[in-house]
Amino acid sequence: MNDKLSISQAIKAEALRLGFYVCGITSAHPVGKRESGMLRQWLDKEYHAGLKYMEGHIEKRCDPCLLVEDAKSIICVALNYYPAKKLSKDQLQFAYYAYGKDYHEVMKCKLKSLYDYINNELLPINGRVFCDTAPVLERYWAQQAGLGWIGKHTQLIIPEAGSYFFLGELVVDAELTYDTPVVARCGSCTQCLNACPAQALRDPYVLDCNRCLSYLTIENKGEINAERRKALGNRIYGCDECQKACPWNRFAQPCDNPELQPSEEFMDMRPEDWKNLSVEEYQKLFKGSAVKRAKYDGLIRNIKAVDNK
């Protein structure tokens, strides 16, 4: 196989076979002035809160050609994580993406398989695999590659499928056939901004991490102040309210990936169980899970904050 179109089609077919919901391809180029300007403004306003790593590697973040030598193409994929079973309203809440195994591991394994398939079956390539692990503007590239558009809540929305997706990329040195960027379809809707319990969406497309419950319960290393505690409700790890409010998520279909399914122990946890959670139980419950990011002390801080509104 040696023509760009056939190779690109074969890559997409393999991506779907591996379980990705969609795959698209765009050329590797520096991001537009608008995107780099928005990123710099966001950093200047310190809306990244304690995410200090966001301040570094701005040039690389704005130009994937600085991440991979002779980069020509970005292959973007999305993996559905919308859960089939959900915690009930009287249980303490976790963001849907955290129900199953750590997505970094699941995504990396599938991306590596896709990379090896291209290299072994289609054409020799050099490149790198990314999934929320390097300075890459993932949602921007997904939009460029025709997967969907960035909604006012700052998540990628896939038409007729919603926003409960993990994103990943292969940046490679081969020229391929490119997809058309998707035009934003939020229109005059503001349901995500209205639904945010913490007013963290300062403006359409502008997230203030200092207020966002997802940041405060996962990445934040400090205490959660009284004002933010009020907004927490019964969420102890992450928040999905802006996504739940989005009308495009009425199209979300439950994922069937066994690695992303929650354990029975997790689904059975009652508020009293969380309050009495020991380190050993935490280790067992979240072995191989992204929840480890908040560490035991972080999760206990959140449980106490919910209890102490």
* CA distance readout (Å), 308 to 229, 269, 303: 8, 19, 9
Binding segment (CB under 6 A) for ligand SF4, from list 120-128, 166-174, 191-199, 220-228: 191-199
To ligand SF4, the closest distance from the beta carbon of 255 in angstroms equals 20
Q: Does 143 bind ligand SF4 (CB under 6 A)?
A: no
Q: Determine the Cα–Cα distance for residues 86 and 22; give it in Å rounded to an integer.
A: 24
Q: Does 142 bind ligand SF4 (CB under 6 A)?
A: no
Rounding to the nearest 10 degrees, give the CA dihedral for residues 82, 257, 94, 251. Answer: 0
Tell me if 162 contacts ligand SF4 by CB under 6 A: no
Burial 256-267 (b: 16+ CB within 10 A, else e): eeeebbbbeebe
Report in angstroms the alpha-carbon separations of 64 from 36, 69, 139, 167, 273.
13, 9, 13, 16, 45
**One residue of 6, 41, 190, 308 binding ligand SF4 per CB under 6 A:** 190
Among residue numbers 212 through 241, which ones bind ligand SF4 (CB under 6 A)?
212-214, 239, 241
Closer residue to ligand SF4, CB minimum distance, 30 or 247: 247
Q: Contact between 200 and ligand SF4 (CB under 6 A)?
A: yes
132 annotated active-site? yes
| 169 in contact with ligand SF4 (CB under 6 A) | no
Distance from C-alpha of 64 to C-alpha of 200, rounded to nearest angstrom: 29
Q: Whole-number minimum distance, CB 120 to ligand SF4, in Å?
A: 39
Residues 23-62 that bind ligand SF4 (CB under 6 A): none
Structure tokens of 17?
């076979």
Strands 165-172 and 127-130: antiparallel
- Residue of 44, 90, 132, 256 with catalytic role: 132
- 207 makes contact with ligand SF4 (CB under 6 A): yes
DSSP class of 301: H
Supply the residues annotated as catalytic: 132
Q: Name the site residues for ligand SF4 (rule: CB under 6 A).
A: 151-153, 186, 189-192, 196, 198, 200-201, 207, 212-214, 239, 241-242, 245-248
